[in-house]
Amino acid sequence: MQTIHLSDHGIKPGSDVTLALTALFEKYPADTEFVFEKGDYYFSPHEEMRADYRISNSDVKPYRVLGLWMKNMDHCVFQGNGARLLFAGHMQPVTMDHCSHLKMENFVIDWEKPLVAEGTVVAVYEDCVDMHIDSAAYPHKYENDWVYFDTGAEEWFPLNKGSQIQFDGNNHCVKRASGDNFRPRKMENLGNDIYRVTPQSMPDVAVGNIFVLRHNHRMHAGIFTEKCTDITFEDITVYSCGGLGCLAQFCHDLTYRRVHFIPNTAAGRKIANGRDDGMHLTCNSGHITITECTFLGLMDDPINVHSCCVTSDEVVDAKTLRCRYRHEQAQGFHYWAEKGDTITFIERKHMSAVGTAKTVSYELETMDTFLLRFEEPLSEEILAMAAAGDLLALDNADHTAAFTCTKNRFGSCRARGVLISTPKPVVISQNLFSSSGSAILVAGDSNYWFESGECHDVEISDNVFTDTCLSSMYQFCDGVISICPVIPEADVTKPFHKNIRITGNVFDTTDTPVLYAYSCAGLTFSRNRIFKSPAAEKWHPGNHRINLDSCREVTLTHNEWIGNFGLEKYHLENCENVVTE
C-alpha cells in the first residue's frame, strides 16, 4: 500500500480543499493511505460536487452537495491525525459510493455555522418564554417576525415551527415529560439576542433550560455510504449535522468504532449536535458493528437498523408486479432489488409472510413506483392479494444484516435509543442508556413507516438503563424496552417477532413500564435487577411494570424488583404459555 501525504500534493490546512481532494482520490483509487496533517480543512458547495443520490429517510432532492467524495475506491485508508473538516452551508461531508475495504479514522466533522441551534430560557410567562439565542455561536437574523439562521454559503433557514426539544439546564437531559410539546407560532425580537417565543400551547418550562432549535431540512447525511463493502469508521467526532448522521444503505459489513455525536462545547454549544438520527442503517447485509460510540443531544434516534418495505397493488402479469414506495422520504432507490434477490411477501393485516420468490429484474419507473419481475410465476394467493390493492407488502430478505451494539453511551436525545428490525442475529450488550424515550424499540412495519424486518434472534444483556430512560413520551414508547411492531390485527398463533432474550440488565426506573411486548414468541425476561428510582412521580400512562399483548411462550422469572413500586407487576392480554415468578 502506497502512502500519500496530502501536503506533498498542495492540500494543506487553512484552505478550501473540496475539489483538490476529489481529484486526488480519483488519481489514486486503490491500495493507498491518504495522510492528513492536523489542522482545519475547509469545504464549500461546488457545482462539480453535485450528484443524484436517493438517500433513505431524507427529503427527496434532485441532487446532493458533496464534500469528500470517494467513488469506486478499494483498499484505502484515510488517516486524519485529528484533522478538522469544516463545512459551509448544506453539504454531505463524506460520501462513499461503490467502495470496498476502506477505513476512515481520526477526524472531526463540524460547521463553523452549525446546522442546529440552541436557545436558553431567561424568563417564563403564562403563554410565552423569553429565549436567548447567542448570535456568536448561532449566527442568525430577525426578519418577517421570525428568526432565520445562517448556515454558511449564503444560506438562511427559518426556525422550524415543529416541535423544539427542551433540555434541563442542570443535567443536560431532555426535561422530564416534555417531549414534543413546544411548537413556536410567534416570535418577537426584544434586542440583545433575546426573543419572546409564543408556542401553540404553553407547556411546563423553567428558566435556565435549553431548547435545541431545529431549522433547515433533512437534505444530507453526515457520513453516507452506498453499495459499499467492508467499511470502517474509527475515532470520528461529529459536532454538527444537518440530517442523518451516519447513513448506510445497500452496503455489506460495516463497523463504527468510537464515533461520537456530541456538542462542540469549545464553540459555546451546550447540547446541540445533529438535526436527526445518529446512525440510520437501511437495507444493508452482512454484519454491522457499532461499539464504544457516544450519542448526546441528537434530535432523533441514535441508532436505527431496518430494511425498506414496499407495497404492490397491480399485477402486470404472472411474473411481474408494479410496486410502490410508501414513505415520502424513502423512495427512488437504485438498488432496492437486484437479480437473484429473495423477496418476502407479507400480508399486511397480520404482518405474516405468505411466500417468497427470486427476482429477475428491478425497473424504476418513477420516484415512487417500479416493476419487479420474478423467475417463476407467482402463486394465485399472492397475485390475488396484489390485485386487490393495499393488501400485500414486499421486503427484500437479502437486504438484512446481523447487528452488534456494544459498549456505547446513549445520552439524552430526542426519541428512542436503538431501533431494530432485522431477522439476522442481534446483540445489544454492555451499553449505558439515558434515552428520553424507550431505550430499545424492536419495531417492524409495513403499514406506517414501512421500516420492515421481523426479528428472529435478539439478545439484550448486561446493559444499564438509567432513570432518564422513558422520561418523555414519543411514538411507540410503551416501555423502557418496547417490542412494538405496527400490526393492525395481531394473531397470537402467528407472532411477528421471535426469540428475544432480555437478561442480566440493570434498570433504574421511576414508576414507568419496564417492558412492553406485542406479537412476540419465545420472549425471555430473566435475571434482571430493577431498582425503583425516586427521581420523579409517575407520569407515564402505563400502569404495569410488564405489559404483554398477543404473546406466547414467554418466561418472566428470576428478576429482582428492588424498592416500593407503585405499578402493578404484570398485565397479560391474549397471551399463551406465560411463565411468571
- Three-state DSSP string of 185-245: EEEEEEECCEEEEEECCCCCCCCCCEEEEEECCCCCCCEEEECCEEEEEEEEEECCECCCC
Q: Residue 88 in 3-state DSSP?
A: coil
pLDDT of residue 581: 84
User: Quick one: pLDDT at residue 96?
Assistant: 98
Contact call for residues 67 and 92 (beta carbons, < 8 A)? yes
In the chain, the amino acid numbered 552 is: R
- Per-residue CA distances from 35 to 31, 161, 186, 475 (Å): 13, 43, 49, 44
Give residue 438's pLDDT band: very low, low, confident or very high (50, 70, 90). very high
pLDDT digits (tens, 9 = 90+) for 350-395: 999 999 999 999 999 999 999 999 999 999 999 999 998 889 999 9
Predicted confidence (pLDDT) at residue 75 exceeds the cutoff of 90: yes
pLDDT at position 16, please? 97
pLDDT score recorded for residue 168: 96
CA angle 556/557/563 to nearest 5° reads 95
CB within 8 Å of 447: residues ≥ 6 apart: 348, 351, 486, 487, 488
Model pLDDT, residue 453: 84
- Does residue 381 come out as left (phi exceeding 0), alpha (psi in the -120 to 50 range) or beta? alpha
Looking up cell 460547521, which residue turns up?
111
Cβ(474)–Cβ(179) under 8 Å? yes
Tell me the CB-side half-sphere exposure of residue 341, using CA atoms within 13 A: 23
State the average pLDDT over residues 165-183: 94
- The per-residue pLDDT for range 85-141, each reduced to its tens digit, is 999 999 999 999 999 999 999 999 999 999 999 999 999 999 999 999 999 999 999
Dihedral sign, CA of 136, 140, 145, 146?
Answer: negative
Task: Say yes or no to pLDDT of 222 above 90.
Answer: yes
* pLDDT, tens digit (0-9, with 9 covering 90-100), for 561-573: 999 999 999 999 9
pLDDT at 411: 96
Average pLDDT, the chain: 96
Task: Give the pLDDT of residue 578.
Answer: 96
pLDDT digits (tens, 9 = 90+) for 271-291: 999 999 999 999 999 999 999
Residue pair 200/40 in contact by the 8 Å Cβ criterion:
no
Residue 394 is predicted with a pLDDT of 96
Model pLDDT, residue 379: 96
Query: What share of the chain has pLDDT > 70, as a percent?
Result: 100
Q: Which of 442, 455, 528, 427 is nearest to 481 (CA)?
A: 442
Report whether 178 contacts 203 (CB < 8 A): yes
- The pLDDT assigned to 446 comes to 87
User: At residue 216, does pLDDT exceed 90?
Assistant: no
Whole-number pLDDT of residue 390: 84
pLDDT in tens, 3-60: 999 999 999 999 999 999 999 999 999 999 999 999 999 999 999 999 999 999 999 9
What are 406's three cell numbers?
456494544
Which pLDDT value is given to residue 472?
94
